[in-house]
A and B are shown apart, each in its own frame.
Chain A
Protein backbone atom coordinates (compact mmCIF):
# COMPACT_ATOMS: atom_id res chain seq x y z
CA UNK A 1 0.00 0.00 0.00
CA UNK A 2 1.33 3.42 -0.83
CA UNK A 3 -0.15 6.75 0.04
CA UNK A 4 1.66 9.16 -2.18
CA UNK A 5 1.05 12.64 -3.38
CA UNK A 6 1.67 13.43 -7.00
CA UNK A 7 4.86 15.28 -6.15
CA UNK A 8 6.38 12.14 -4.62
CA UNK A 9 8.67 10.15 -6.81
CA UNK A 10 7.94 6.43 -6.95
CA UNK A 11 10.28 4.63 -4.51
CA UNK A 12 12.51 1.81 -5.65
CA UNK A 13 11.12 -1.65 -4.73
CA UNK A 14 13.90 -2.20 -2.21
CA UNK A 15 13.28 1.21 -0.66
CA UNK A 16 9.61 0.39 -0.54
CA UNK A 17 10.37 -2.84 1.30
CA UNK A 18 12.57 -0.97 3.80
CA UNK A 19 9.93 1.68 4.33
CA UNK A 20 7.27 -0.97 4.94
CA UNK A 21 9.45 -2.73 7.50
CA UNK A 22 10.30 0.61 9.13
CA UNK A 23 6.61 1.43 9.37
CA UNK A 24 5.79 -1.90 10.98
CA UNK A 25 8.69 -1.61 13.45
CA UNK A 26 7.63 1.90 14.39
CA UNK A 27 4.00 0.85 14.89
CA UNK A 28 4.63 -2.31 16.90
CA UNK A 29 7.62 -0.78 18.73
CA UNK A 30 5.54 2.23 19.77
CA UNK A 31 2.72 -0.02 20.85
CA UNK A 32 5.12 -2.23 22.84
CA UNK A 33 6.73 0.79 24.55
CA UNK A 34 3.34 2.28 25.38
CA UNK A 35 2.21 -1.02 26.91
CA UNK A 36 5.44 -1.43 28.86
CA UNK A 37 5.44 2.15 30.13
CA UNK A 38 2.51 1.34 32.39
CA UNK A 39 0.62 4.43 31.23
CA UNK A 40 -2.18 2.14 30.05
CA UNK A 41 -3.16 -0.93 31.99
CA UNK A 42 -2.66 -4.32 30.31
CA UNK A 43 -6.41 -4.88 30.88
CA UNK A 44 -6.99 -2.15 28.29
CA UNK A 45 -3.98 -2.45 26.03
CA UNK A 46 -1.98 -5.68 26.06
CA UNK A 47 1.45 -5.45 24.47
CA UNK A 48 1.97 -6.88 20.98
CA UNK A 49 4.23 -9.56 22.44
CA UNK A 50 1.45 -10.54 24.83
CA UNK A 51 -1.02 -10.65 21.92
CA UNK A 52 1.21 -12.91 19.86
CA UNK A 53 1.79 -15.07 22.93
CA UNK A 54 -1.96 -15.31 23.44
CA UNK A 55 -2.48 -16.27 19.82
CA UNK A 56 0.14 -18.99 20.17
CA UNK A 57 -1.52 -20.23 23.34
CA UNK A 58 -4.94 -20.23 21.66
CA UNK A 59 -3.53 -22.46 18.98
CA UNK A 60 -3.42 -25.28 21.53
CA UNK A 61 -5.90 -24.40 24.27
CA UNK A 62 -9.52 -24.28 23.16
CA UNK A 63 -11.36 -21.01 23.67
CA UNK A 64 -15.10 -20.70 23.07
CA UNK A 65 -15.19 -24.41 22.28
CA UNK A 66 -12.34 -24.67 19.79
CA UNK A 67 -8.69 -23.91 19.25
CA UNK A 68 -7.81 -20.81 17.25
CA UNK A 69 -6.94 -22.92 14.25
CA UNK A 70 -10.35 -24.59 14.33
CA UNK A 71 -12.00 -21.19 14.52
CA UNK A 72 -9.93 -20.02 11.57
CA UNK A 73 -10.88 -23.12 9.60
CA UNK A 74 -14.55 -22.50 10.39
CA UNK A 75 -14.21 -18.91 9.17
CA UNK A 76 -12.30 -19.90 6.05
CA UNK A 77 -14.93 -22.52 5.23
CA UNK A 78 -17.71 -19.92 5.36
CA UNK A 79 -15.55 -17.52 3.42
CA UNK A 80 -14.95 -20.07 0.68
CA UNK A 81 -18.65 -20.88 0.44
CA UNK A 82 -19.85 -17.29 0.32
CA UNK A 83 -17.11 -16.10 -1.98
CA UNK A 84 -17.43 -19.17 -4.22
CA UNK A 85 -21.17 -18.72 -4.49
CA UNK A 86 -20.78 -15.03 -5.31
CA UNK A 87 -18.23 -15.79 -8.03
CA UNK A 88 -20.21 -18.73 -9.41
CA UNK A 89 -23.33 -16.58 -9.81
CA UNK A 90 -21.87 -13.10 -10.27
CA UNK A 91 -19.38 -13.84 -13.03
CA UNK A 92 -21.71 -15.69 -15.46
CA UNK A 93 -24.54 -13.26 -14.74
CA UNK A 94 -22.25 -10.28 -15.33
CA UNK A 95 -21.01 -11.76 -18.61
CA UNK A 96 -24.55 -12.51 -19.75
CA UNK A 97 -25.65 -8.98 -18.85
CA UNK A 98 -22.73 -7.61 -20.86
CA UNK A 99 -23.90 -9.64 -23.82
CA UNK A 100 -27.69 -9.43 -23.65
CA UNK A 101 -29.16 -5.99 -23.44
CA UNK A 102 -32.52 -7.30 -22.24
CA UNK A 103 -31.03 -9.09 -19.26
CA UNK A 104 -28.99 -5.99 -18.47
CA UNK A 105 -32.13 -3.87 -18.46
CA UNK A 106 -33.96 -6.33 -16.22
CA UNK A 107 -31.24 -6.97 -13.65
CA UNK A 108 -29.48 -3.59 -13.45
CA UNK A 109 -32.12 -1.59 -11.54
CA UNK A 110 -32.57 -4.27 -8.85
CA UNK A 111 -28.85 -4.72 -8.53
CA UNK A 112 -28.15 -1.00 -8.35
CA UNK A 113 -30.65 -0.62 -5.51
CA UNK A 114 -29.56 -3.68 -3.50
CA UNK A 115 -25.92 -2.70 -3.83
CA UNK A 116 -26.38 0.15 -1.37
CA UNK A 117 -27.31 -2.17 1.45
CA UNK A 118 -24.01 -2.73 3.25
CA UNK A 119 -23.12 -6.39 3.82
CA UNK A 120 -23.58 -5.99 7.58
CA UNK A 121 -27.03 -4.54 7.05
CA UNK A 122 -27.99 -7.96 5.65
CA UNK A 123 -27.26 -9.62 9.00
CA UNK A 124 -30.73 -9.38 10.57
CA UNK A 125 -32.39 -10.56 7.38
CA UNK A 126 -29.82 -13.31 6.88
CA UNK A 127 -30.24 -14.52 10.47
CA UNK A 128 -34.02 -14.62 10.13
CA UNK A 129 -34.05 -16.41 6.82
CA UNK A 130 -31.00 -18.60 6.86
CA UNK A 131 -30.30 -18.98 10.55
CA UNK A 132 -27.11 -18.45 12.46
CA UNK A 133 -25.47 -21.74 11.47
CA UNK A 134 -24.05 -21.84 7.99
CA UNK A 135 -26.68 -20.10 5.86
CA UNK A 136 -26.80 -16.73 7.61
CA UNK A 137 -23.10 -15.88 7.59
CA UNK A 138 -22.70 -17.24 4.07
CA UNK A 139 -25.52 -15.00 2.91
CA UNK A 140 -23.80 -11.97 4.47
CA UNK A 141 -20.49 -12.79 2.80
CA UNK A 142 -22.33 -13.31 -0.44
CA UNK A 143 -23.86 -9.85 -0.13
CA UNK A 144 -20.39 -8.35 0.28
CA UNK A 145 -18.65 -10.41 -2.39
CA UNK A 146 -21.27 -10.42 -5.12
CA UNK A 147 -21.19 -6.84 -6.50
CA UNK A 148 -17.54 -6.71 -7.61
CA UNK A 149 -17.88 -10.15 -9.24
CA UNK A 150 -20.87 -9.04 -11.25
CA UNK A 151 -19.68 -5.53 -12.07
CA UNK A 152 -16.23 -6.58 -13.24
CA UNK A 153 -17.51 -9.47 -15.35
CA UNK A 154 -20.03 -7.07 -16.89
CA UNK A 155 -17.44 -4.40 -17.64
CA UNK A 156 -15.01 -7.00 -18.93
CA UNK A 157 -17.63 -8.43 -21.28
CA UNK A 158 -18.44 -4.94 -22.56
CA UNK A 159 -14.77 -4.40 -23.37
CA UNK A 160 -14.46 -7.58 -25.43
CA UNK A 161 -14.22 -6.58 -29.06
CA UNK A 162 -17.57 -6.96 -30.80
CA UNK A 163 -15.73 -8.32 -33.81
CA UNK A 164 -14.62 -11.38 -31.85
CA UNK A 165 -18.17 -12.17 -30.79
CA UNK A 166 -19.29 -11.72 -34.38
CA UNK A 167 -16.50 -13.96 -35.65
CA UNK A 168 -17.60 -16.66 -33.21
CA UNK A 169 -21.21 -16.30 -34.32
CA UNK A 170 -20.34 -16.63 -37.99
CA UNK A 171 -18.35 -19.77 -37.18
CA UNK A 172 -21.45 -21.31 -35.68
CA UNK A 173 -20.88 -20.76 -31.94
CA UNK A 174 -23.98 -20.76 -29.75
CA UNK A 175 -24.68 -18.52 -26.79
CA UNK A 176 -23.02 -20.73 -24.22
CA UNK A 177 -19.86 -21.24 -26.24
CA UNK A 178 -19.59 -17.51 -26.85
CA UNK A 179 -19.83 -16.89 -23.11
CA UNK A 180 -17.31 -19.58 -22.19
CA UNK A 181 -14.80 -19.20 -25.01
CA UNK A 182 -15.01 -15.55 -26.02
CA UNK A 183 -16.47 -13.38 -23.27
CA UNK A 184 -14.92 -15.22 -20.32
CA UNK A 185 -11.33 -15.24 -21.63
CA UNK A 186 -11.75 -11.73 -23.04
CA UNK A 187 -13.01 -10.43 -19.72
CA UNK A 188 -10.60 -12.47 -17.60
CA UNK A 189 -8.22 -9.66 -16.55
CA UNK A 190 -11.17 -7.60 -15.39
CA UNK A 191 -12.80 -10.60 -13.71
CA UNK A 192 -9.67 -11.49 -11.77
CA UNK A 193 -9.32 -7.89 -10.58
CA UNK A 194 -12.96 -8.09 -9.47
CA UNK A 195 -12.39 -11.36 -7.65
CA UNK A 196 -9.58 -9.81 -5.66
CA UNK A 197 -11.74 -6.92 -4.52
CA UNK A 198 -14.56 -9.36 -3.90
CA UNK A 199 -12.42 -11.65 -1.74
CA UNK A 200 -11.35 -8.71 0.40
CA UNK A 201 -14.92 -7.59 0.91
CA UNK A 202 -16.00 -11.17 1.58
CA UNK A 203 -13.42 -11.57 4.31
CA UNK A 204 -14.36 -8.25 5.91
CA UNK A 205 -18.07 -9.04 5.78
CA UNK A 206 -17.49 -12.50 7.19
CA UNK A 207 -15.81 -11.37 10.35
CA UNK A 208 -18.52 -8.76 10.76
CA UNK A 209 -21.20 -11.40 10.35
CA UNK A 210 -19.53 -13.70 12.85
CA UNK A 211 -19.70 -10.99 15.47
CA UNK A 212 -23.43 -11.40 15.36
CA UNK A 213 -24.31 -14.83 14.09
CA UNK A 214 -22.08 -17.83 14.64
CA UNK A 215 -21.02 -20.47 17.13
CA UNK A 216 -17.47 -20.73 15.84
CA UNK A 217 -15.11 -18.55 13.85
CA UNK A 218 -12.74 -15.70 14.46
CA UNK A 219 -15.47 -13.11 14.82
CA UNK A 220 -17.18 -15.31 17.40
CA UNK A 221 -13.90 -15.66 19.31
CA UNK A 222 -13.61 -11.89 19.48
CA UNK A 223 -17.12 -11.36 20.78
CA UNK A 224 -16.71 -14.09 23.39
CA UNK A 225 -13.37 -12.65 24.45
CA UNK A 226 -14.92 -9.21 24.79
CA UNK A 227 -17.62 -10.51 27.15
CA UNK A 228 -14.90 -12.39 29.09
CA UNK A 229 -12.94 -9.13 29.35
CA UNK A 230 -9.94 -10.70 27.61
CA UNK A 231 -8.48 -7.93 25.43
CA UNK A 232 -5.44 -9.99 24.45
CA UNK A 233 -7.74 -12.59 22.90
CA UNK A 234 -9.76 -9.90 21.13
CA UNK A 235 -6.58 -8.54 19.66
CA UNK A 236 -5.25 -11.99 18.82
CA UNK A 237 -8.46 -12.44 16.81
CA UNK A 238 -7.91 -9.13 15.07
CA UNK A 239 -4.34 -10.11 14.33
CA UNK A 240 -5.53 -13.35 12.71
CA UNK A 241 -8.11 -11.49 10.64
CA UNK A 242 -5.48 -9.09 9.40
CA UNK A 243 -2.86 -11.70 8.61
CA UNK A 244 -5.28 -14.01 6.79
CA UNK A 245 -6.86 -11.13 4.88
CA UNK A 246 -3.41 -10.03 3.79
CA UNK A 247 -2.53 -13.57 2.72
CA UNK A 248 -5.70 -13.84 0.61
CA UNK A 249 -4.98 -10.49 -0.98
CA UNK A 250 -1.37 -11.33 -1.76
CA UNK A 251 -2.37 -14.65 -3.32
CA UNK A 252 -5.00 -13.06 -5.53
CA UNK A 253 -2.74 -10.16 -6.43
CA UNK A 254 -0.27 -12.70 -7.69
CA UNK A 255 -2.97 -14.48 -9.69
CA UNK A 256 -4.04 -11.14 -11.10
CA UNK A 257 -0.52 -10.29 -12.21
CA UNK A 258 -0.14 -13.71 -13.79
CA UNK A 259 -3.34 -13.33 -15.77
CA UNK A 260 -2.47 -9.80 -16.83
CA UNK A 261 0.96 -10.78 -18.04
CA UNK A 262 -0.33 -13.76 -19.99
CA UNK A 263 -3.41 -12.01 -21.34
CA UNK A 264 -2.46 -8.35 -21.42
CA UNK A 265 -0.27 -8.23 -24.48
CA UNK A 266 -2.31 -10.73 -26.46
Chain B
Protein backbone atom coordinates (compact mmCIF):
# COMPACT_ATOMS: atom_id res chain seq x y z
CA UNK B 1 0.00 0.00 0.00
CA UNK B 2 1.03 3.58 -0.55
CA UNK B 3 0.27 6.90 1.05
CA UNK B 4 -0.44 10.23 -0.66
CA UNK B 5 1.21 13.48 0.36
CA UNK B 6 0.42 16.94 -0.95
CA UNK B 7 3.02 19.42 0.30
CA UNK B 8 2.28 23.11 -0.17
CA UNK B 9 0.66 22.44 -3.49
CA UNK B 10 -0.41 25.36 -5.62
CA UNK B 11 -1.90 24.86 -9.04
CA UNK B 12 -2.54 27.65 -11.47
CA UNK B 13 -3.75 27.50 -15.05
CA UNK B 14 -2.70 29.96 -17.75
CA UNK B 15 -5.45 32.25 -18.98
CA UNK B 16 -5.89 34.39 -22.07
CA UNK B 17 -5.59 37.60 -20.11
CA UNK B 18 -2.11 36.55 -19.03
CA UNK B 19 -2.59 36.49 -15.27
CA UNK B 20 -2.70 32.82 -14.29
CA UNK B 21 -5.85 31.49 -12.64
CA UNK B 22 -5.14 29.95 -9.26
CA UNK B 23 -7.25 26.80 -8.87
CA UNK B 24 -5.55 25.57 -5.70
CA UNK B 25 -3.46 27.54 -3.27
CA UNK B 26 -0.99 26.07 -0.83
CA UNK B 27 -2.70 22.82 0.06
CA UNK B 28 -0.92 20.37 2.33
CA UNK B 29 -2.65 17.08 2.97
CA UNK B 30 -1.48 13.62 3.87
CA UNK B 31 -3.55 10.52 3.25
CA UNK B 32 -2.06 7.64 5.20
CA UNK B 33 -1.73 4.11 3.90
CA UNK B 34 -5.11 2.42 3.85
CA UNK B 35 -6.81 5.60 4.92
CA UNK B 36 -10.07 6.71 3.32
CA UNK B 37 -10.19 10.46 2.89
CA UNK B 38 -13.23 12.20 1.44
CA UNK B 39 -12.92 15.66 -0.05
CA UNK B 40 -15.94 17.97 -0.11
CA UNK B 41 -16.12 21.52 -1.30
CA UNK B 42 -18.21 23.83 -3.42
CA UNK B 43 -18.09 23.56 -7.20
CA UNK B 44 -14.85 25.03 -8.46
CA UNK B 45 -12.93 24.57 -5.22
CA UNK B 46 -10.37 22.40 -6.95
CA UNK B 47 -11.45 18.90 -5.94
CA UNK B 48 -10.96 17.40 -9.36
CA UNK B 49 -7.70 19.29 -9.83
CA UNK B 50 -6.38 17.85 -6.57
CA UNK B 51 -7.24 14.34 -7.65
CA UNK B 52 -5.75 14.80 -11.10
CA UNK B 53 -2.43 15.78 -9.56
CA UNK B 54 -2.39 12.62 -7.45
CA UNK B 55 -3.18 10.65 -10.61
CA UNK B 56 -0.34 12.31 -12.49
CA UNK B 57 -2.68 13.83 -15.08
CA UNK B 58 -1.89 17.37 -13.91
CA UNK B 59 1.20 18.71 -12.25
CA UNK B 60 1.49 21.16 -9.38
CA UNK B 61 2.73 24.64 -10.22
CA UNK B 62 4.40 24.76 -6.82
CA UNK B 63 4.93 22.21 -4.09
CA UNK B 64 5.02 18.47 -4.49
CA UNK B 65 2.69 15.51 -4.74
CA UNK B 66 4.07 12.16 -3.65
CA UNK B 67 2.54 8.72 -3.67
CA UNK B 68 4.32 6.01 -1.74
CA UNK B 69 7.14 8.46 -1.10
CA UNK B 70 7.81 9.06 -4.79
CA UNK B 71 7.12 12.23 -6.68
CA UNK B 72 4.19 11.75 -9.05
CA UNK B 73 5.27 12.41 -12.63
CA UNK B 74 2.91 10.37 -14.78
CA UNK B 75 -0.23 8.25 -14.52
CA UNK B 76 0.23 4.63 -13.55
CA UNK B 77 -1.81 1.57 -12.63
CA UNK B 78 -0.80 1.83 -8.95
CA UNK B 79 -3.30 4.72 -8.82
CA UNK B 80 -6.65 3.85 -10.33
CA UNK B 81 -8.99 6.69 -11.21
CA UNK B 82 -12.76 6.72 -11.38
CA UNK B 83 -13.64 9.82 -13.35
CA UNK B 84 -16.42 12.27 -12.62
CA UNK B 85 -17.89 11.71 -16.07
CA UNK B 86 -17.77 8.14 -17.28
CA UNK B 87 -14.65 7.44 -19.24
CA UNK B 88 -15.62 4.06 -20.60
CA UNK B 89 -14.34 3.07 -24.01
CA UNK B 90 -17.46 3.28 -26.19
CA UNK B 91 -16.19 0.72 -28.69
CA UNK B 92 -15.45 -1.90 -26.05
CA UNK B 93 -17.98 -4.14 -24.34
CA UNK B 94 -18.46 -4.16 -20.59
CA UNK B 95 -16.18 -7.18 -20.33
CA UNK B 96 -13.49 -5.58 -22.49
CA UNK B 97 -13.69 -2.34 -20.53
CA UNK B 98 -13.17 -4.08 -17.21
CA UNK B 99 -10.44 -6.33 -18.60
CA UNK B 100 -8.51 -3.45 -20.21
CA UNK B 101 -6.25 -2.74 -17.23
CA UNK B 102 -5.73 -6.45 -16.67
CA UNK B 103 -4.54 -6.88 -20.23
CA UNK B 104 -2.14 -3.97 -19.76
CA UNK B 105 -0.76 -5.81 -16.75
CA UNK B 106 -0.42 -9.03 -18.74
CA UNK B 107 -2.87 -11.03 -16.63
CA UNK B 108 -3.60 -14.38 -18.37
CA UNK B 109 -6.89 -14.61 -20.21
CA UNK B 110 -8.52 -17.17 -17.92
CA UNK B 111 -7.70 -15.13 -14.84
CA UNK B 112 -9.04 -11.99 -16.54
CA UNK B 113 -12.37 -13.71 -17.06
CA UNK B 114 -12.50 -14.71 -13.40
CA UNK B 115 -11.77 -11.21 -12.21
CA UNK B 116 -14.30 -9.66 -14.60
CA UNK B 117 -16.97 -12.11 -13.47
CA UNK B 118 -16.14 -11.40 -9.83
CA UNK B 119 -16.56 -7.64 -10.15
CA UNK B 120 -19.65 -7.88 -12.33
CA UNK B 121 -21.23 -9.94 -9.60
CA UNK B 122 -20.11 -7.49 -6.95
CA UNK B 123 -21.72 -4.64 -8.90
CA UNK B 124 -24.86 -6.73 -9.58
CA UNK B 125 -24.24 -6.45 -13.30
CA UNK B 126 -24.18 -10.11 -14.32
CA UNK B 127 -25.43 -10.70 -17.85
CA UNK B 128 -24.29 -7.33 -19.21
CA UNK B 129 -20.76 -8.36 -20.17
CA UNK B 130 -21.37 -8.25 -23.90
CA UNK B 131 -23.17 -4.92 -23.99
CA UNK B 132 -21.62 -1.68 -25.09
CA UNK B 133 -21.59 1.34 -22.75
CA UNK B 134 -24.24 3.22 -24.74
CA UNK B 135 -26.60 0.32 -24.12
CA UNK B 136 -26.36 0.84 -20.35
CA UNK B 137 -28.01 3.33 -18.02
CA UNK B 138 -25.85 6.04 -16.47
CA UNK B 139 -25.71 4.22 -13.17
CA UNK B 140 -24.67 0.98 -14.82
CA UNK B 141 -21.96 2.77 -16.78
CA UNK B 142 -20.58 4.22 -13.60
CA UNK B 143 -20.53 0.80 -11.97
CA UNK B 144 -18.54 -0.57 -14.88
CA UNK B 145 -16.09 2.30 -14.45
CA UNK B 146 -15.74 1.44 -10.77
CA UNK B 147 -15.29 -2.25 -11.54
CA UNK B 148 -12.62 -1.39 -14.09
CA UNK B 149 -10.63 0.47 -11.44
CA UNK B 150 -11.04 -2.10 -8.69
CA UNK B 151 -10.09 -4.90 -11.06
CA UNK B 152 -6.47 -3.79 -11.37
CA UNK B 153 -6.11 -3.90 -7.58
CA UNK B 154 -4.39 -0.54 -7.29
CA UNK B 155 -2.59 0.68 -4.17
CA UNK B 156 -4.44 3.96 -4.38
CA UNK B 157 -8.01 4.61 -5.49
CA UNK B 158 -8.81 8.08 -6.72
CA UNK B 159 -12.54 8.57 -7.12
CA UNK B 160 -14.12 11.74 -8.46
CA UNK B 161 -17.81 11.80 -7.53
CA UNK B 162 -18.18 8.17 -8.56
CA UNK B 163 -21.76 7.93 -7.34
CA UNK B 164 -22.88 11.28 -8.71
CA UNK B 165 -24.87 9.76 -11.56
CA UNK B 166 -26.61 7.08 -9.54
CA UNK B 167 -30.20 7.16 -8.33
CA UNK B 168 -30.66 7.34 -4.54
CA UNK B 169 -31.27 3.62 -4.18
CA UNK B 170 -28.34 2.39 -6.24
CA UNK B 171 -26.22 5.01 -4.61
CA UNK B 172 -26.98 3.63 -1.15
CA UNK B 173 -26.18 0.12 -2.29
CA UNK B 174 -22.90 1.26 -3.81
CA UNK B 175 -21.94 3.17 -0.69
CA UNK B 176 -22.50 0.13 1.48
CA UNK B 177 -20.62 -1.93 -1.05
CA UNK B 178 -17.69 0.44 -1.00
CA UNK B 179 -17.60 0.36 2.79
CA UNK B 180 -17.63 -3.41 2.75
CA UNK B 181 -14.93 -3.51 0.12
CA UNK B 182 -12.63 -0.93 1.60
CA UNK B 183 -12.95 -2.18 5.17
CA UNK B 184 -12.29 -5.74 4.06
CA UNK B 185 -9.41 -4.85 1.78
CA UNK B 186 -8.42 -1.39 2.93
CA UNK B 187 -6.85 0.78 0.30
CA UNK B 188 -5.63 4.31 0.27
CA UNK B 189 -8.62 6.20 -1.04
CA UNK B 190 -9.10 9.80 -2.07
CA UNK B 191 -12.81 10.14 -2.56
CA UNK B 192 -14.31 13.32 -3.95
CA UNK B 193 -17.96 14.13 -3.49
CA UNK B 194 -20.54 16.88 -3.28
CA UNK B 195 -22.64 14.89 -0.84
CA UNK B 196 -21.88 15.52 2.81
CA UNK B 197 -23.77 12.39 3.96
CA UNK B 198 -21.68 10.26 1.72
CA UNK B 199 -18.40 11.80 2.85
CA UNK B 200 -19.17 11.34 6.53
CA UNK B 201 -20.46 7.82 6.06
CA UNK B 202 -17.54 6.56 4.01
CA UNK B 203 -14.45 8.36 5.17
CA UNK B 204 -11.93 8.14 7.97
CA UNK B 205 -11.44 11.88 7.59
CA UNK B 206 -13.36 14.52 5.67
CA UNK B 207 -11.45 17.35 4.06
CA UNK B 208 -13.45 20.53 3.46
CA UNK B 209 -12.19 22.86 0.75
CA UNK B 210 -12.99 26.50 0.26
CA UNK B 211 -12.90 28.25 -3.05
CA UNK B 212 -11.65 31.42 -4.78
CA UNK B 213 -8.99 30.25 -4.64
CA UNK B 214 -9.37 26.55 -3.85
CA UNK B 215 -7.79 25.92 -0.48
CA UNK B 216 -7.96 23.74 2.59
CA UNK B 217 -10.56 24.87 5.05
CA UNK B 218 -10.81 22.16 7.68
CA UNK B 219 -10.20 18.48 8.26
CA UNK B 220 -12.71 16.54 10.34
CA UNK B 221 -11.90 13.25 11.93
CA UNK B 222 -14.68 10.69 11.54
CA UNK B 223 -12.98 7.44 12.29
CA UNK B 224 -12.92 7.58 16.11
CA UNK B 225 -16.66 8.12 16.23
CA UNK B 226 -17.32 5.52 13.58
CA UNK B 227 -15.33 2.89 15.37
CA UNK B 228 -16.70 3.79 18.79
CA UNK B 229 -20.26 3.41 17.56
CA UNK B 230 -19.51 0.56 15.19
CA UNK B 231 -21.15 2.14 12.11
CA UNK B 232 -19.77 -0.46 9.78
CA UNK B 233 -21.85 -3.26 11.20
CA UNK B 234 -25.10 -1.34 10.84
CA UNK B 235 -27.17 -0.63 7.75
CA UNK B 236 -26.57 2.75 6.19
CA UNK B 237 -29.99 4.25 6.95
CA UNK B 238 -29.58 3.43 10.61
CA UNK B 239 -26.13 5.01 10.70
CA UNK B 240 -27.46 8.17 9.14
CA UNK B 241 -30.02 8.48 11.92
CA UNK B 242 -27.46 8.25 14.71
CA UNK B 243 -26.91 11.39 16.73
CA UNK B 244 -23.15 11.04 16.32
CA UNK B 245 -23.57 10.92 12.55
CA UNK B 246 -25.89 13.90 12.29
CA UNK B 247 -23.61 15.86 14.55
CA UNK B 248 -20.60 15.31 12.27
CA UNK B 249 -22.68 15.93 9.22
CA UNK B 250 -23.89 19.25 10.59
CA UNK B 251 -20.33 20.20 11.37
CA UNK B 252 -19.22 19.59 7.79
CA UNK B 253 -22.34 21.18 6.40
CA UNK B 254 -21.75 24.42 8.35
CA UNK B 255 -18.24 24.68 7.02
CA UNK B 256 -19.63 24.38 3.52
CA UNK B 257 -22.70 26.53 3.94
CA UNK B 258 -20.77 29.69 4.73
CA UNK B 259 -19.40 29.63 1.22
CA UNK B 260 -22.31 28.39 -0.86
CA UNK B 261 -23.49 30.93 -3.38
CA UNK B 262 -26.75 31.15 -5.30
CA UNK B 263 -25.11 29.92 -8.50
CA UNK B 264 -24.25 26.51 -7.02
Contacts and interface: CB of A to CB of B under 8 A. Distances in A.
A49 B91 CA distance: 50
Contact of B87 (A163, A174, A181): A163
B148 interface: yes
A163 B85 contact: yes
B105 interface: yes
Contacts of B81: 166-167, 170
A170 B80 contact: yes
Contacts of A173: 100, 104
Interface stretch (B71-79, B113-121, B251-259): B71-79
Contact of B89 (A164, A170, A265): A164
Chain A interface size band reads 20 to 34
Given A164-B89, A170-B57, A170-B80, A266 B105 contact: no
Contacts of B132: 266
Chain B interface size band reads 20 to 34
Given A163-B83, A163-B85, A265-B134, A170 B75 contact: yes
A84 interface: no
A169 interface: yes
Given A163-B83, A265-B134, A170 B77 contact: yes
A182 B88 CA distance: 11
Most buried by A among B101, B105, B148: B101
A168 B100 contact: yes
A200 interface: no
A12 B87 CA distance: 40
B31 interface: no
Contacts of A167: 81, 83, 87-89
Interface in B126-160: 132-134, 148-149, 152
A60 interface: no
B90 interface: yes
Contacts of A265: 134
Contact of A171 (B56, B91, B152): B152
A106 to B, nearest CB: 22
A5 B30 CA distance: 66
A171 B100 contact: yes
B206 interface: no
B55 interface: yes
User: Which DSSP category, helix, strand, loop or mixed, fits chain A's interface?
Assistant: helix
B90 A266 contact: yes
Contacts of A115: none
A172 B83 contact: no
A201 to B, nearest CB: 28
Contacts of A181: 89, 100
Most buried by A among B74, B83, B85, B104: B104
A185 interface: yes
Contacts of B91: 185-186, 188, 263, 266
Contacts of A164: 87, 89
Contacts of A186: 91
Most buried by B among A167, A169, A182, A186: A167
B134 A171 contact: no
B79 A170 contact: yes
A257 interface: no
B152 A172 contact: yes
Most buried by B among A169, A185, A186: A169
Closest 5 CB pairs of A and B: A172-B77, A171-B101, A266-B90, A167-B87, A172-B104
Interface of B: 55-57, 74-77, 79-81, 83, 85, 87-91, 100-101, 104-105, 132-134, 148-149, 152
19 contacts: A161-B87, A163-B83, A166-B57, A166-B83, A167-B83, A167-B87, A168-B100, A170-B57, A170-B76, A170-B80, A171-B104, A171-B148, A171-B149, A172-B104, A174-B104, A177-B104, A263-B91, A265-B134, A266-B133
